[in-house]
Amino acid sequence: MAASGEPGRQWQEEVAAVVVVGSCMTDLVSLTSRLPKTGETIHGHKFFIGFGGKGANQCVQAARLGAKTSMVCKVGKDSFGKDYIENLKQNDISTEFTYQTQDAATGTASIIVNNEVKTLFNPAPAVADLDPRFYTLSDVFCCNETEAEILTGLAVGSPADAGQAAQVLVERGCHVVIVTLGAEGCVMLSQTEPVPKHIPTEKVKAVDTTGAGDSFVGALAFYLAYYPSLSLEEMLKRSNFIAAVSVRAAGTQSSYPYKKDLPLDLF
C-alpha cells in the first residue's frame, strides 16, 4: 500500500493518494452447523457471496473515509471478476489498474517501492523467511500478533510481548513497526522512538472481528495520505476507533464505516 499527501504537494483531481497493491477475492460463505467430514455432503442454512481479499478490504476502508484510491490487482475474466470490478466502482475506487485475466485468479501480493511515496506494508499471510528487503524498504510495517510471531519466532500474547517483537523487527531495519492486538488496540515502535508504546482501544461489544485488521490498515493509509502532520500515535488512536466500529457489525466490507457515519473529530 502506498500513500502520499504531504502538505504543499499538489495532486491533480484524478490522481490517487492511496494506492493498494493486493488481492481481490470473492468470498463464498456457507453457514452450517458443523464442518463436513472428507467427502461428506451436509445441509447449509444460509449462503452468501461477499467481497473480500486483504488488499481490496484495505482500499475500501480508505475510500469510505474519503481517500482518493486506486486498486492494483488482477481478477479473473469471469462473472466474479466482473462483479468485483463493479464493487470497486461502487466504492469510488479507481479501476484503471484493475485487470481481468483468463488465467486462474492469483492471490499473491507484491509491493512496488517508489521513493516519492510512503509505503505501508502488511505482511499477510506471513512467512518466516520474508525477503529482508521488505523490512528496510517499507516506511510503516504493520502486522498482527500471529504475523509478528511467525516473523520473529517470539510468542506474542500481550502488549509487552508485542513491544519485544517490534524491537526485533526494528533491528531488522523497519523504520516504524505497528503490531495490532485485537481488543487490546496496538503497539508502536520506531527507529526514532525506540521505546514501545501501547495504544489501547475502547472496549466494544464485538459482533464479528473478521476484517478488523484490514479496516485498521485502510484507515491508517487514509491518515498517512490525508493527515500527514498528525503524530503517529494520534493516527493509531483514530485507526483503532474506526476498526472498533467495524467489529460491531457482521461481515467484512459490509461492516466498514463511511466518513458520514463517524464522529467529525476523526477528520
Ligand X SMILES: Nc1ncnc2c1ncn2[C@@H]1O[C@H](COP(=O)(O)OP(=O)(O)OP(=O)(O)O)[C@@H](O)[C@H]1O
100's contact among ligand X, ligand NAG, none, with CB below 5 to 8 A by partner kind, is none
Q: Is residue 201 part of the contact set for ligand X (CB under 6 A)? A: yes
Tell me the catalytic residues: 214
Backbone angles phi, psi at 239, to 5 degrees: -65, -40
CB of 124 to ligand X, least distance (A): 7
As beta bridge partners, residue 179 has 143, 187
DSSP 125-136: S--TT--THHHH
210's contact among ligand NAG, ligand X, none, with CB below 5 to 8 A by partner kind, is ligand X
Residues 60-99 interacting with ligand NAG (rule: CB under 6 A): none
* Residue of the chain from 140, 165, 212, 225 that contacts ligand X (CB under 6 A): 212
CA 122 to chain centre: 7
Give 212's Cβ-side CA count (13 Å radius): 25
Q: Is residue 184 part of the contact set for ligand NAG (CB under 6 A)? A: no
Cα(157)–Cα(159) distance, integer angstroms: 7
The beta strand positions in the chain, using DSSP E, are 2-3, 18-21, 25-31, 46-52, 69-76, 93-94, 98-101, 118-121, 140-144, 176-180, 186-190, 197-199
Q: Is residue 146 part of the contact set for ligand NAG (CB under 6 A)? A: yes
Q: Is residue 124 part of the contact set for ligand NAG (CB under 6 A)? A: yes
* Residue of the chain from 141, 216, 222, 226 that contacts ligand X (CB under 6 A): 216
* Residue of the chain from 126, 137, 183, 230 that contacts ligand X (CB under 6 A): 183
Q: Is residue 17 part of the contact set for ligand X (CB under 6 A)? A: no
Dihedral of CA atoms 232, 67, 252, 215 in degrees, nearest 10, equals: 0
Residues 139-158 interacting with ligand X (rule: CB under 6 A): 144
Dihedral of CA atoms 103, 52, 166, 19 in degrees, nearest 10, equals: 70
Q: Is residue 181 part of the contact set for ligand X (CB under 6 A)? A: yes
Interacting residues with ligand X (CB under 6 A):
144, 180-183, 185-186, 201, 204, 206, 209-214, 216, 240, 243-244, 247
Interaction site with ligand NAG (CB under 6 A):
124-126, 144-147, 213
